[in-house]
Amino acid sequence: MRYADKDRRRAETLRQKIGRRSIVMVGLMGCGKSAIGRRLATRLDLPFVDADDEIEQAAGKTISDIFLEHGEAYFREGERKVISRLLEGEAKVLATGGGAFMNEQTREKIAETGISVWLKADLPVLMRRVARRTHRPLLAKGDPEETMRKLMEERHPVYEQADITIKSCDIPHEVVVDDIVKRLLKTIS
C-alpha cells in the first residue's frame, strides 16, 4: 500500500471511531493548537474551528480588547459559553485558547462530547513561538518568560487530564499530525 493510501485508510478508520465527537486541542499559548489542529482537520476531512476566533466574532472585538475593556473573568465566561456551543455541533477539530481547559465545566463538557489532545511543549519552544506574535494579553506585561513558567506550573497538572498527550517540538507539523492520528487510533474505543 502506498504511504498516502495508508494515511487515508487510517484517517477514515479514525473518523468512524470518532463518530459525532470532536477532537479538542489543548495546551499553552504557542504549543501549536491552531496550526496543528488545522492540519489534523485537513487530514481527517473534518471542519476546523478556532475557539478564540469564534469568541472574537461573538464579541465583535479582539481578545486583547475584551481583556482591556471587560477584564479576564468576563473573557473566561464568554470562552466557556462559546466552547460549550461549539461542542454541541457536528464533529470537528476545535483549537481552544490556553486557559480554556482550566475551567472545570469546560473540561467536563469536553469529556462528554470530545476527545482532548494536549500538545506539550518545552519552555524554549513556547517562548520562541510566542515571541513572533504580540496579540496575547497575558504576555503583554511583565516578563513573558516568567509568566509562561508560572502558567506551566499551574496548568500542566490539569492539561495532564487530557485523553492523550503529544510532544510538540520543532518537528514538521505533518509528523505531529501522524503521531496524533496513531495515538488516537490506539486510544479511542
* Residue 163 in the binding site for ligand S3P (CB under 6 A): no
Residues 54-73 that bind ligand S3P (CB under 6 A): 63
Which segment (4-12, 80-88, 134-142, 175-183) binds ligand S3P by CB under 6 A? 134-142
Provide the minimum distance between the beta carbon of 62 and ligand S3P in the complex, in angstroms, as a whole number.
Answer: 10
* Residue 136 in the binding site for ligand S3P (CB under 6 A): yes
Q: Which is nearer to ligand S3P, 11 or 151 (CB)?
A: 151
Q: Which is nearer to ligand S3P, 111 or 152 (CB)?
A: 152
Provide the minimum distance between the beta carbon of 52 and ligand S3P in the complex, in angstroms, as a whole number.
Answer: 5
CA distances from residue 144 to 29, 45, 92, 125 in whole angstroms, order as listed:
11, 36, 32, 13
* Residue 137 in the binding site for ligand S3P (CB under 6 A): yes
* Residue 99 in the binding site for ligand S3P (CB under 6 A): yes
Q: Which is nearer to ligand S3P, 98 or 114 (CB)?
A: 98
Residues 2-31 that bind ligand S3P (CB under 6 A): 29
Which segment (16-24, 35-43, 81-89, 130-138) binds ligand S3P by CB under 6 A? 130-138
* Residue 97 in the binding site for ligand S3P (CB under 6 A): yes
Q: Grid coordinates standing for 21?
A: 465527537
Helix H, strand E, coil C: the string for the chain is CCHHHHHHHHHHHHHHHHCCCEEEEECCCCCCHHHHHHHHHHHHCCCEEEHHHHHHHHHCCCHHHHHHHHCHHHHHHHHHHHHHHHHHCCCCEEECCCCHHHCHHHHHHHHHHEEEEEEECCHHHHHHHHHCCCCCHHHCCCCHHHHHHHHHHHHHHHHCCCCEEEECCCCCHHHHHHHHHHHHHHHCC
Tell me which residues touch ligand S3P (CB under 6 A): 29, 33, 52, 63, 97-99, 136-138
